[in-house]
Amino acid sequence: MAAIFLFGVIFLRLGYIQVVWGKDLQARAADQWQRDLPVKAYRGDIVDANGNVLATTETGYSVYARPQSVDDAENTARILAEILQSDYGTVFEKITKRGVSEVTLKRQISVEQAEEIRGHSLQGIYLASEGLRSYVYGDMLSQVLGFVSSDGIGQTGLEAYYDKYLQGLNGLLLTETDLVGDELDGGSTSYVPAVNGLTVTLTVDAVIQSIAENVLDLAMYQQSPQAARCIVLDVTTGEILAMASKPGVDLNNLPRDDVEYLMKYSKNALLTDVYEPGSTFKVLTASACLEEYRNGNPRAFSAEHIFTNSSGIRIVDGSKISCWTKHANGKHSNQTLSDALNNSCNPIFTDIALSLGKETMYDYLERFGYGKPTGIDFAGEQSGILVPESAVTNGDLARIGFGQTIAVTALQLCMATAAAVNGGLLMRPYLVKEISDPMSGKTVKRFSPTVVGRAVSEETSKQIAEMLRRVVKEGGGKNANVEGYQVGGKTGTAQKFADGALAVGKYVSSFVGFFPSSSPKYLVLMIVDEPQGQSYGSIVAAPYAGLVIREIINYKQIAPLE
């Protein structure tokens, strides 16, 4: 009976091992008798809204060695060092290293190098195909696309944000070996194919992006600024049609050995950097004023209200706020809101902000999306800087009214201005339209316009668009005008801060425009950072925005409207 019981226990144990441990033990056995080389998945393409390829993956190779299988290590190291342009001693050390099954000699070599290695039939040396990331237009859209690491992993920009969709799944090449890693004669080789990444389709139009970048190059040449930046978007959907910054980086030739330079010029400053918007912000103050009057607020002003402004000066909390002009001969003395926008007169917007009060002004800051990220599909977006409402003084509030004592991102300003003229809706901006499987053609994920909230009524929005049309037709924005196309907009000139104080002679000049003003579709923001010479946005930024608008009209073959 004892013997029968003992055998029963043994059989139960064997059964338990086969059933419960079986898969794990099979895997361990396979690992002892197989060596694998990775088969790298090709990273998915990034294409523009029209299907034009912006980032793709070309065929490249990595070189591996199995030290146990290398024959004539000295000759092998000499040949490889010459082809790979590597140090002989380093190569020799790697291919003679003991205690490892495989060792990587070099990644991302060219097809020509791979063919040369293959031609030598070197024992124990293997090639594994992998993709080389290639950017069709080099430095175009560089801060938006971002780049990948040497391992093909997204590091910045959309390459990082959508990495899980782009990277794909790697495969394996399995070869039977003995316990010390030598290949078995007649051993089998099995192949587990890689699954390539998905295609990411942007909202960006490569033609409009090219227009923006060419105009920025012109601005850099003519104005010699620290930087020049541009955003083009569809105000009805929130789709980003172009997003460009100069200087940039060549994504095919990254300065990886100069990390400071790389990070400075590869970051998307339109989302990460904040600045005082200056007079472009007056669009919000004017919108708040009209909307509050429409809602019956006795502290608001109508479009017909006459602001008395004979001195052109306001004293608030002991600090003087002046208009940019001296008001000689009664100039700017009595103005409507439309006149104030047209003339960009700071004291009028001081009056409006102080009359509405901080609670109302901060309500509109929130409605227009200031003080929080826009929610764009991009990492690193900043929320801007607002003085806490509880800490706002009258002096702060007065300056907020005309775009000082507040810091915003360029994208926030774009979306807020779009909300002011598109019928009153704050939209969420987005850069990717859809993600699809290139093999099946099926859409995996699709993105649609998203309304964040209502900033103002349609009636107020229409009024603001008409007033801003006048700014371009008659006022400070006339250098952006395109005859017959109802361009509206607002200029801005803001002095920069450095080390906690105003920086003498350093300005951010800007213009935000849209067209057609009767039914807005396209919005263009142009920023020229620290131009040399003239600093007024009307002179420095507006003409370049006008060039972008004119070229979009030509590209889209838009017929004149007036």
Active site amino acids: 279
Contact criterion met (CB below 8 Å) for 297 and 356: yes
CA 181 to chain centre: 47
Query: In what helix (H) or strand (E) does residue 107 lie, and over which residues does it extend?
Result: strand 103-109
SS (H, E, C) 154-195: ECCHHHHHCHHHHCCECEEEEEEECCCCCECCCCCEEEECCE
Amino acid letter for position 237: T
> Can you tell me the distance from the alpha carbon of 392 to that of 191, in angstroms, rounded to the nearest whole number?
67
| Tally of CB atoms within 10 A around 138 | 14
242: its two tokens: 């172009």
The length of the chain is: 562
Query: In what helix (H) or strand (E) does residue 531 lie, and over which residues does it extend?
Result: none
> How far are the Cα atoms of 296, 551, 552, 554, 560 from residue 557, in angstroms, in the given order?
43, 9, 8, 5, 9
Contact criterion met (CB below 8 Å) for 134 and 57: yes
> How far are the Cα atoms of 134, 149, 266, 269 from residue 249, in angstroms, in the given order?
14, 15, 6, 13
Contact criterion met (CB below 8 Å) for 515 and 552: no
SS (H, E, C) 428-481: CCECEEEEECCCCCCEEEECCCCEEEECCCHHHHHHHHHHHHHHHHCCCCHHHC
> How far are the Cα atoms of 53, 156, 268, 386 from residue 46, in angstroms, in the given order?
6, 14, 18, 36
CA 118 to chain centre: 41
> Can you tell me the distance from the alpha carbon of 146 to that of 144, in angstroms, rounded to the nearest whole number?
6
Give me the half-sphere count of Cα atoms (radius 13 Å) on the Cβ side of residue 329. Answer: 0
Q: Exposed, middle or buried, 18 (CB in 10 Å: 0-12/13-18/19+)?
A: exposed
Please confirm whether the linkage preceding 277 is cis (ω < 30° from 0).
Answer: no
> Can you tell me the distance from the alpha carbon of 149 to that of 153, in angstroms, rounded to the nearest whole number?
5
